[in-house]
Amino acid sequence: MDNNLTKKKKLKSPNRVVWLFLAPSFLFIIVFNFIPLISAMTISTLDLTIFMKNVSFAGAGNYIKVLSDLRFWNSLKNTMVFTLMEAPMQIGLALIVASAIHQNTRFRRLMRSFYYIPVVCSMTAMGILWSILLDPTLGYYSFIFKIIGIDNALFLKSPSTAILWVVLITVWKNFGLTMMILIAGFQDIPYSYYEAAQIDGASAGQSFRYISLPLLKPSLAFCIITVIIDCLKVFDQVYVMTQGGPLHSTETAVQYIYQKGFSIAPFNLGYASAAAEILFLIIAFVTYFLFRSLNRKEAVEY
Amino acid sequence: MKKVKMLIASLLVGALVLSACGTSGGAATDTTKSATETKSATETKSATETSTPGSPVKLSLWCGFTGPDGEILKEIVNRFNSSNDKGITITVDVMGWDVLAQKLPTAIATNTAPDMALLIGDTIPQYINSGALQSMDDYWTSSGLDKSNYVQNVLDAGVFSGTTYALPMQFNLIYLYWNKALFTAAGLDPEVPPATMDQLAEYAVKLTDSSKNQYGFAMPVKGSPEYWTSFFWNNGGELFDTSSKKSQLNSAENIATLAWMQDLALNKKVSPVGATGADAEALMTAGQLGMYIDGPWLIGGLKAGNVDFGITAPPAGSKGQSVISGEIGFVLPVTNTKNKDACYEFIKYWMSDAIMKEWSLKNGFPAWSKSVLADPEIMKDPIQSAISPLNILGRAYNPNAYAAMSALNNDAMWPMIEAALTTNGSPKALVEDASKKIEDVFANN
């Protein structure tokens, strides 16, 4: 009896302290996530411009306008193309590099730092740097391409190759982060498994396929989900390098929303918010779908 | 040794944390930056609200002059601050024009706006429609300046529906620059620029040499002044009528003009493909471009790059010679309830002969007061004497102050130009498509 009472007392006091610890994070999430989410939903039903005068209720009007706008569908298509190119490239490259440098030698640890450097650089600054490097007339890459024989490479100025180069630059910038997560995943795998496989006569490829990959599933699932969500929200590099051009070939959803809300008269925030809500629903659905399919099986354990 | 390692480790962690704060989508830094800026604006405002007449007045001015002309502007403001006898001190906040266009409307809506702002003429109508600016009709009576001394169409650019909402700060057309050294090398007379569009095309071809990465005439597809307005207008075509909200783009003349531009760009390759205004300016200042149509702001760069250049009006077409005019004006947000007279003091200072002459001579912008135009220094200056007579060719792109002008410009016109100059699309189809987009904008706005 005595024990139960003291147990209950001990359970109560940690609760209050717990809320105190959680409060700053909660505040942050409420101010920067929750409130903007609700405001965006509200604004999407209004007829509101950036001058915030003459506000009127528009109901579903904004949504109808967005869904009947060809440029919006084009921006969704560009976002999908971007995601389908960037995610496999980034994760694939990160996986290959991680499998090569996850051992803890001095050289390998140095290489990890090098690969991580683009991640800490500002995407805006890197975007500007790359657009100078890739300038067809004055850029260094155009010079190199001419030497190896490709004479009129237009890089970011051609509607057909611009999105490819935006993808490549994004991969270059972000794969370091994915690589670090996968290295942590690799280091969780006990070396004894590889030894055992070696004794059984497995080749490097086989041990990768039957030991590394299954045991990496949790890290891989995390990487896939975060990379895809980030791809669907791509904006910085597009805004800085191509502004959605040439001929709207790199205009992704967020770039389109930004243009309509902040760049071009009449700065219709209602319209932009409606488009943002639709994008939010798409990302939510994709995330849910990914969660369901990737976390279906229990983590493999040997 | 362990202590040193701990110190280095903690420094690196600190650096990483700071850089992470910086890179977290720029949004974090942006909000902190705008927070400090609005904070300083409110601080300035509260300082002025508690001031009594005769005591120091602090004003804030927002503008987009991020280049060397911004430095000259700040210099002039500092001189005003130290020389004026009314105790007025002005702080100039410089940001990119696009940043200004995003920050100012929200600042006015949240009562954190500056006392004055400098705005590009074409962007002013939407502010007026939203009631964000106050009338400046009483300026001429309170300042005591002679209104007739100033060029009328420059003053008219700030008058909307009979009320003055903007007072001119500067006025410019766009001009044809040509590289005299490249002209000589190509066998052309360096003192005679092309006078007609046909001559422009002819000279451009002669000046293009792809082996030397040299181009004859740059035609940017974005980020530059609307040089193509001259081509359409001068060939007898019209673009749109914002008072009756009708597209006038779909005409045989405009299709022919677009085809002429496309031929120059794609077949004769006189322009780098997909160039932006900044690319063209870089080529021109590097001496690798024969001709380019741009605003007076290019002059500083050309002088710095030691380019031997000439300046004249864009070429005439078969039906005339019109050049798009632009202006930047002082505006007073409605939130400025106490400092109107102090602002008028500075605007009066700006419009004085000495300052206008200085701005024209240092920047290359044309003067727009008759007393300055008659000044001997202005008349002797090679650039001023070349551009002053061209003021009469000026034609407003947005004469009726249509508020959704940027939608017409960015959603219909520029995409048409870009498609024509970078793809083989048929000019007829592109013109029809753009005309339809113009009608869509009119229908929705």
* Chain A residue at shortest CA distance from B212: A137
> B173, B64, B84, B65: which is closest to B352 by C-alpha?
B84
Q: Please check whether residue B314 is in contact with residue B176, taking contact to mean a CB–CB distance below 8 angstroms.
A: yes
Cβ contact A265–B423 (<8 Å):
no
C-beta neighbour count of A107 within 10 angstroms = 9
User: Is the per-residue pLDDT at A32 higher than 90?
Assistant: yes
Lowest mean pLDDT among A290-299, B133-142, B157-166: A290-299
Tokens of B94: 């410089």
Beta-carbon contacts of A44 under 8 Å, excluding residues fewer than 6 positions away, are A62, A63, A270, A273, A274, A276, A277
Cβ contact A265–B406 (<8 Å):
yes
Query: Rounded to 5 degrees, what are φ and ψ at B238?
Result: -115, 160
Looking at residue A84, its amino acid is L
Q: Which residues of B have a CB under 8 Å from any CB of A?
A: 16, 19-20, 22-23, 25-26, 98, 102, 105-106, 108-109, 126-127, 130-132, 213, 221-222, 272-275, 279, 282-283, 403-407, 410-411, 415, 418-419, 422-423, 445
Q: List residues bridging with B327 in a β-sheet.
A: B171
Please tell me which of the candidates A157, A248, A265 has its beta carbon nearest to residue B403. A265
* Chain B residue at shortest CA distance from A236: B25
Query: Confidence band (pLDDT; 50, 70, 90) for A3?
Result: low
What are the pLDDT digits (tens) for A117-149? 999 999 999 999 999 999 888 789 989 998 998
* Chain B residue at shortest CA distance from A237: B25
Domain B175-325+399-444 superfamily per CATH:
Periplasmic binding protein-like II (3.40.190.10)
Q: Which residue bears the tokens 């100059």?
A: B421
Cβ contact B279–A135 (<8 Å):
yes
CA angle A202, A203, A208 (to 5 degrees): 95
User: Is the per-residue pLDDT at B174 higher than 50?
Assistant: yes
Report, as an integer, the average pLDDT of A47-51: 86
Lowest mean pLDDT among A164-168, B47-51, B259-263: B47-51
Q: pTM for the full model?
A: 0.80
What are the pLDDT digits (tens) for B132-146? 999 999 999 988 888
Best B29, B122, B124, B126 member to test A by mutation, with max A CBs in 10 Å, is B126
Contacts B282 to A, Cβ<8 Å: 138
Distance (Å, whole) CA B282 – CA A268: 35
Cβ contact A52–B25 (<8 Å):
no
Best B209, B273, B409, B417 member to test A by mutation, with max A CBs in 10 Å, is B273
What are the pLDDT digits (tens) for A6-25? 555 555 566 788 888 999 99
Cβ contact B272–A137 (<8 Å):
yes
Contacts A267 to B, Cβ<8 Å: 105, 126
Please tell me which of the candidates A49, A157, A247 has its beta carbon nearest to residue B415. A247
* Chain B residue at shortest CA distance from A235: B25
* From-to residues of CATH 1.10.3720.10 in chain A: 62-294
Q: Please check whether residue B326 is in contact with residue B225, taking contact to mean a CB–CB distance below 8 angstroms.
A: yes
Best A71, A160, A247, A257 member to test B by mutation, with max B CBs in 10 Å, is A247
Cβ contact B445–A266 (<8 Å):
yes
Distance (Å, whole) CA B397 – CA B182: 32
Distance (Å, whole) CA A132 – CA A128: 6
Q: Please check whether residue A122 is in contact with residue A251, taking contact to mean a CB–CB distance below 8 angstroms.
A: no
Q: Please check whether residue B124 is in contact with residue B331, taking contact to mean a CB–CB distance below 8 angstroms.
A: yes
CA angle A233, A236, A239 (to 5 degrees): 110
Beta-carbon contacts of B425 under 8 Å, excluding residues fewer than 6 positions away, are B419
User: Is the per-residue pLDDT at B23 higher than 90?
Assistant: no
* Chain A residue at shortest CA distance from B18: A120
Three-state DSSP at B226 gives coil
**B172 torsion bin: left (phi>0), alpha (psi -120 to 50), beta (else):** beta
> A276, A78, A75: which is closest to A166 by C-alpha?
A78
User: Is the per-residue pLDDT at B36 higher than 80?
Assistant: no
Q: List residues bridging with B222 in a β-sheet.
A: B276
Cβ contact B127–A51 (<8 Å):
yes
Q: Is the peptide bond before A246 cis (omega within 30 degrees of 0)?
A: yes
Q: Please check whether residue B242 is in contact with residue B249, taking contact to mean a CB–CB distance below 8 angstroms.
A: no
Contacts B127 to A, Cβ<8 Å: 51
- In angstroms, the Cα distances linking B211 to A94, A136, A148, B69, B195 are 41, 14, 17, 35, 28
User: Is the per-residue pLDDT at B32 higher than 50?
Assistant: no
* Chain A residue at shortest CA distance from B28: A32
Cβ contact A236–B25 (<8 Å):
yes
Beta-carbon contacts of B349 under 8 Å, excluding residues fewer than 6 positions away, are B80, B84, B355
> B298, B365, B357: which is closest to B325 by C-alpha?
B365
User: Is the per-residue pLDDT at A42 higher than 60?
Assistant: yes
> B139, B206, B144: which is closest to B178 by C-alpha?
B206
Three-state DSSP at B317 gives coil
Q: Please check whether residue B329 is in contact with residue B193, taking contact to mean a CB–CB distance below 8 angstroms.
A: no
Q: How far is CA B394 from the centre of its chain?
A: 15
Distance (Å, whole) CA B97 – CA B115: 17
Distance (Å, whole) CA A127 – CA A237: 5
Distance (Å, whole) CA B442 – CA B247: 9
Contacts A245 to B, Cβ<8 Å: 221-222, 418
Please tell me which of the candidates A49, A135, A137 has its beta carbon nearest to residue B130. A49
- Between A and B, how many residue pairs show a Cβ–Cβ distance under 8 A? 91
Contacts A51 to B, Cβ<8 Å: 105, 108-109, 126-127, 130, 132
Cβ contact B126–A51 (<8 Å):
yes
User: Between the ranges A184-193, B21-30, B41-50, B392-401, where is the mean pLDDT highest?
Assistant: A184-193
Looking at the complex, report in whole angstroms how far the Cα of residue A202 sits from the nearest Cα belonging to chain B.
Answer: 41
From the candidate CATH numbers 3.40.50.2300, 1.10.2020.10, 3.50.30.60, 1.10.3720.10, the one assigned to the domain spanning A62-294: 1.10.3720.10
* Chain B residue at shortest CA distance from A119: B23
- Strand B289-294 to B246-247 pairing: unpaired
Lowest mean pLDDT among A193-197, B115-119, B265-269, B395-399: B395-399
The CATH number given to B55-173+327-395 is 3.40.190.10
Looking at residue A29, its amino acid is I
Distance (Å, whole) CA B5 – CA B325: 64
Beta-carbon contacts of A259 under 8 Å, excluding residues fewer than 6 positions away, are A244, A251
Distance (Å, whole) CA A21 – CA B394: 66
* From-to residues of CATH 3.40.190.10 in chain B: 55-173+327-395, 175-325+399-444
Please tell me which of the candidates B23, B130, B275 has its beta carbon nearest to residue A120. B23
Distance (Å, whole) CA B136 – CA A136: 48
Cβ contact B279–A138 (<8 Å):
yes
Query: Confidence band (pLDDT; 50, 70, 90) for B210?
Result: confident
What are the pLDDT digits (tens) for A185-233? 999 999 899 999 999 998 888 889 888 999 999 999 999 999 999 999 9
Distance (Å, whole) CA B320 – CA B299: 26
Considering only residues B370 and A1, tell me which one the structure prediction assigns the higher pLDDT. B370
Please tell me which of the candidates B16, B127, B132 has its beta carbon nearest to residue A120. B16
Beta-carbon contacts of B60 under 8 Å, excluding residues fewer than 6 positions away, are B40, B41, B44, B45, B90, B91, B93, B114, B115, B116
Cβ contact A265–B445 (<8 Å):
yes
User: Is the per-residue pLDDT at B43 higher than 90?
Assistant: no
At B37 the pLDDT is 38
Looking at the complex, report in whole angstroms how far the Cα of residue A264 sits from the nearest Cα belonging to chain B.
Answer: 6
Looking at the complex, report in whole angstroms how far the Cα of residue B376 sits from the nearest Cα belonging to chain A.
Answer: 42
Q: List residues bridging with B57 in a β-sheet.
A: B88
Tokens of A189: 């795998």
User: Is the per-residue pLDDT at A95 higher than 60?
Assistant: yes
Please tell me which of the candidates B98, B109, B423 has its beta carbon nearest to residue A52. B109
Cβ contact A51–B102 (<8 Å):
no
Cβ contact A120–B445 (<8 Å):
no
- Strand B167-173 to B240-241 pairing: unpaired
Q: Which residue bears the tokens 């219909």?
A: B412
Cβ contact A157–B274 (<8 Å):
yes
Cβ contact B222–A54 (<8 Å):
no
Report, as an integer, the average pLDDT of B370-394: 88
Tokens of B299: 């002059």
* Chain B residue at shortest CA distance from A154: B273
Distance (Å, whole) CA A282 – CA A279: 5
Looking at the complex, report in whole angstroms how far the Cα of residue B271 sits from the nearest Cα belonging to chain A.
Answer: 11
What are the pLDDT digits (tens) for B230-258? 999 999 999 999 889 999 999 999 999 99
Best A264, A268, A271 member to test B by mutation, with max B CBs in 10 Å, is A264
| DSSP annotation string for B343-380 | HHHHHHHHTSHHHHHHHHHHH-PPP-BHHHHT-HHHHH
* Chain A residue at shortest CA distance from B108: A51
Tokens of A82: 């971007």
Contacts B422 to A, Cβ<8 Å: 157-159, 246-247
